[in-house]
A and B are shown apart, each in its own frame.
Chain A
Amino acid sequence: MAELDVEVVASDHAVWSGAAKAVRGRTIEGDMGILPGHTPVLSLLSEGELVIEPVQGAPVKAQVNGGFFSVDSDRVTIVADDAQLSEG
């Protein structure tokens, strides 16, 4: 099965990167889920929770505070002004 290559970066450090099955985030127009094979998109994030489901292990949750993300041939880049990995 195809995987997403996910990279989460905040303005002064890299937060998380790795392979994932799915990414869910909140854009300014509502929640958005991304699965492998998604069409290329550039979208603005609003404040909210970002959930990454890695290929292995428990979902990674991060609190994101504005920014944007781009999807481009299974490469997901989440560029946040500020991002903190939250517990769980």
Chain B
Amino acid sequence: MGAQIRVYRQKIASTSSMKKIFKAMELIATSRIGKARDRAQAASPYANAITRAVSAVASQDDIDHVLTQKVENPTRAAVLVMTSDRGLAGAYSTNALKRAESLTALLREEGKEVVPYLYGRKAQAFYDFREREYAAVWTGNTDSPDVERAREIGRTLVDRFLQPTEEGGVDELYLVYTEFQSMVKQEPVAHRMLPLAVKQGGEDAEAHPLYEFEPSAEEVLDALLPRYIESRIFSAMLEASASELAARQRAMKSAADNADELIRKYTLLRNNARQAEITQELSELIAGADSLASS
């Protein structure tokens, strides 16, 4: 057998085994997107309830709370970037990191020092490779986040926010994650979480009745706001995980399609090579017979 054919056979074999892996990963991602979206859905009543309560309390103008106050001259901002732990999800992590980079540049332009907080192994690798510093990193199970992790992150960030600026505290808190818009569209977005953007007065104020607070408005707000931040982070984590899976599914789909295309191409080449070999053997035989007959 000709060397050429053997090479093509090997390529076809390895491409089809890769294709099997891509197909399997695509199927896994597809089955898990549904679950991730269900979880995001299940967490939304909590997020809605807490948002309603926070805006109800915060719209009462006589309350001043650390978490809603704007610092006169913000000098330091924390940015939490959410990426995936594993690759093979196309440009998912890259896009989130790019969004974070542009936000960082913008904040620097405004004269703020940026403190990065990372979520996901890909973000950590990105920062480690460039030998940049970061305040903290959380890795592991980005594709199925749990509440405990969100609480931990929330607590860390709120603590840092509550520290006075002179002691290394931050004045602002931003969140960069990938919004799940549809199965084919996921957009990296950046939001400011703290200080809260509370709408004062306006038509919105009408919607909330005058609540009584027990024990007091300050204490209620003290307990509410960290929970609100946690819930925001948790919903972002859930949405990011759905986006990650959708990105992975799409990446694996196109990888499997490309593998198909390669297999087709190599099969053609292999057939060509085989045919050429047969033709050559035939012509050698005929030439040999001819020379025997004529001698």
Contact = CB atoms under 8 A, between A and B. Distances in A.
B211 interface: yes
A42 B57 contact: yes
Nearest to A38: B212
Contact of B46 (A43, A73, A79): A79
Contacts of B158: none
B42 interface: yes
Interface in A1-51: 7, 9-14, 27-29, 32, 39-44
A79 B219 contact: no
A9 B227 CA distance: 13
Contacts of B42: 12-14
A12 B149 CA distance: 12
Contacts of A27: 214
B237 to A, nearest CB: 11
B220 interface: yes
B50 A12 contact: no
The DSSP consensus for interface residues of chain B is helix
Q: How large is the interface on A (under 10, 10 to 19, 20 to 34, 35 or more residues)?
A: 20 to 34
Nearest to B220: A42
Q: How large is the interface on B (under 10, 10 to 19, 20 to 34, 35 or more residues)?
A: 20 to 34
B214 A29 contact: yes
B215 A29 contact: yes
Contacts of A29: 214-215
Contacts of B126: none
B292 interface: no
A43 B220 contact: yes
A44 B52 CA distance: 15
A27 B213 CA distance: 11
Contacts of A43: 213-214, 220
A41 B57 CA distance: 10
27 contacts: A7-B45, A11-B46, A11-B231, A12-B43, A12-B234, A14-B45, A14-B46, A27-B214, A32-B214, A40-B212, A42-B57, A42-B214, A44-B214, A44-B215, A44-B219, A67-B227, A68-B53, A68-B220, A68-B227, A70-B53, A70-B56, A72-B209, A73-B209, A77-B52, A79-B46, A79-B49, A79-B227
Interface of B: 39, 42-43, 45-46, 49-50, 52-53, 56-57, 147, 209-215, 219-220, 223-224, 227, 230-231, 234
